[in-house]
């Protein structure tokens, strides 16, 4: 599942008094009237909730800070459009200057398809934001999202990012040099495609997990508490799945899909997997093993997946089914419903 791309909506103007940062010689902040759909710059501090029938605020100028100050930017009424934006940052064109060093913090955005929509930005920081909407950043870099509650974060051909200490449902897209760490996912997950140099570490998924798809390289998935990990696509290389605690996947805890092609340099190491494959399954046909790495289905395709030091308990199928894997030793399985406990690697109990 990839996050859909939605475009900009028109806005209706609703006045609101905001505070701007004082000049160096000023005695204190002064009030400025700002309307929904306005382009803002400098330091903007809300003094009360902002209710808009369309687009909220627009940021083009570098160095802008929007402090929601505990208030809510809210879309109310207006025309129903699929791509309305609460705060729009940057220009939708690579031909125009990039917007640098924008901060959005300390409040709530609600009623929009996109709470924040950023294009061609560098150094965007979002912190202490609450929203049931999506934060999307396209062709940007140096994104930081922390200490926030956000439904979805989507990125598209993105540069570096730090997503840390949040409560989220979904993070996904294409990008490189990203750190997704120490977040809570109460029913959701991370999906990567056309991505490289990404670390997904220290997160708690309850339930949920990580899906790695086409053209994805150098990914580390480590030290998470989760429901599962799946590799499903073409050209997947340099993946490390290590030290995760995986429990209660209705299918397999770790899966390399049988249709995946050109899977190289994958290490599945020191994971603890419990109670996999017991459903519910609905109308689909899952795998039931704790770890499932089948042989390639395409003649001549190469699959380089090493299993080492994993511990599997109480699977509906085999503990480990891995005729397409390399046995790195030290794997253990016990309590599997299908015999033998392990296929393709040697396991102790």
pLDDT at position 279, please? Answer: 86
CATH of residue 312: 2.160.20.10
**Residues shown for the chain:** 349
pLDDT at position 283, please? Answer: 64
pLDDT at position 171, please? Answer: 98
- 220 shares its domain with 340: yes
- 52 shares its domain with 126: yes
**Distance (Å, rounded) from C-alpha 100 to C-alpha 315?**
50
pLDDT at position 82, please? Answer: 73
Question: Final residue of a domain: which of 128, 159, 190?
Answer: 159
Residues of the domain holding 29: 11-159
Tokens describing residue 203: 């997160």
* Beta strand 30-35 pairing with 99-100: unpaired
- 47 shares its domain with 110: yes
Closest CA to 277 of 247, 225, 313, 315: 315
pLDDT at position 335, please? Answer: 96
Number of domains in the chain: 2
Per-residue pLDDT of the chain (349 residues; tens, 9 = 90+): 333 333 233 333 333 333 334 444 443 343 345 789 999 999 999 999 999 999 999 999 999 999 999 999 999 986 767 789 999 999 988 889 999 999 999 999 999 999 999 999 999 999 999 999 999 999 999 999 999 999 999 999 999 999 999 999 999 999 999 999 999 999 999 999 999 999 999 999 999 999 999 999 999 999 999 999 999 999 999 999 999 999 999 999 999 988 888 899 999 999 999 999 998 876 666 789 999 998 877 776 768 999 999 999 999 999 999 998 999 999 999 999 999 999 999 999 8
Answer for the pair 89, 116: CB distance below 8 angstroms, yes or no. Answer: yes
Answer for the pair 139, 122: CB distance below 8 angstroms, yes or no. Answer: no
- 94 shares its domain with 196: no
- 206 shares its domain with 78: no
pLDDT at position 301, please? Answer: 76
Task: Look at the alpha carbons of 254, 258, 263, 264 in this order and tell me if their dihedral is positive or negative.
Answer: positive
- 142 shares its domain with 237: no
């Amino acid at each position: 599942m990839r996050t859909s791309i939605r475009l900009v909506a028109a806005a209706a103007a609703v006045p609101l008094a905001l505070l701007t940062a004082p000049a160096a010689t000023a005695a204190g902040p002064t009030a400025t009237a700002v309307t929904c759909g306005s382009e803002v710059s400098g330091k903007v501090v809300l003094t009360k909730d902002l209710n808009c029938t369309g687009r909220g605020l627009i940021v083009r100028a570098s160095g802008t800070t929007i402090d929601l100050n505990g208030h809510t930017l809210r879309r109310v009424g207006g025309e129903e459009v699929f791509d309305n934006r609460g705060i729009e940052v940057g220009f939708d064109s690579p031909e125009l200057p990039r917007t640098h060093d924008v901060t959005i913090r300390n409040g709530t955005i609600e009623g929009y398809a996109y709470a924040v929509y950023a294009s061609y930005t560098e150094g965007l920081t979002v912190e202490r934001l609450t929203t049931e909407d999506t934060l999307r950043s396209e062709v940007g870099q140096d994104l930081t999202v922390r200490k926030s509650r956000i439904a979805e974060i989507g990125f598209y051909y993105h540069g570096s990012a730090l997503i840390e200490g949040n409560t989220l449902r979904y993070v996904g897209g294409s990008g490189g040099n990203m750190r997704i760490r120490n977040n809570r996912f109460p029913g959701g997950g991370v999906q990567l495609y056309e991505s490289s140099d990404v670390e997904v570490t220290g997160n708690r998924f309850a339930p949920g997990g990580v899906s790695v798809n086409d053209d994805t390289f150098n990914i580390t998935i480590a030290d998470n508490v989760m429901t599962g990990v799946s590799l499903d696509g073409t050209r997947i290389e340099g993946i490390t799945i290590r030290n995760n605690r995986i429990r209660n996947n209705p299918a397999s805890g770790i899966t390399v899909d049988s249709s995946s092609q050109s899977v190289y340099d994958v290490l599945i190491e020191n994971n603890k997997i419990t109670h996999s494959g017991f459903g519910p399954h609905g109308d689909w046909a899952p795998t039931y093993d704790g770890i499932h790495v089948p042989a390639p289905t395409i003649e001549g395709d190469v699959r380089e997946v090493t299993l080492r030091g994993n511990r599997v308990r109480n699977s509906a199928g085999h503990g480990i089914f891995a005729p397409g894997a390399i046995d790195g030793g030290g794997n253990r399985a016990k309590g599997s419903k299908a015999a033998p406990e392990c296929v393709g690697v040697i396991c102790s109990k």
